Amino acid sequence: MKAVKAHLTQNNLQIAYRLTEKLMDFLQDNLYKCANKIYFTVTNFKS
């Protein structure tokens, strides 16, 4: 029974890790796009 529980926990950790990885990729992508927009807005505003 303990072995089964340990296996399930390991599976859950792997799934959580994959989801976190996907979320991080998504956030980084969006942050990059946002930073670009802000940068362009500021540069256009100055000139």
**Burial (0-12, 13-18, 19+ Cβ within 10 Å), 17:** exposed
pLDDT in tens, the chain (47 residues): 688 888 889 999 999 999 999 999 999 999 999 999 999 999 998 76
Longest dimension (CA), the chain: 69
Which residue shows structure tokens 């792997």?
14
For 26-39, how does the pLDDT look when each residue is reduced to its tens digit (9 = 90+)? Answer: 999 999 999 999 99
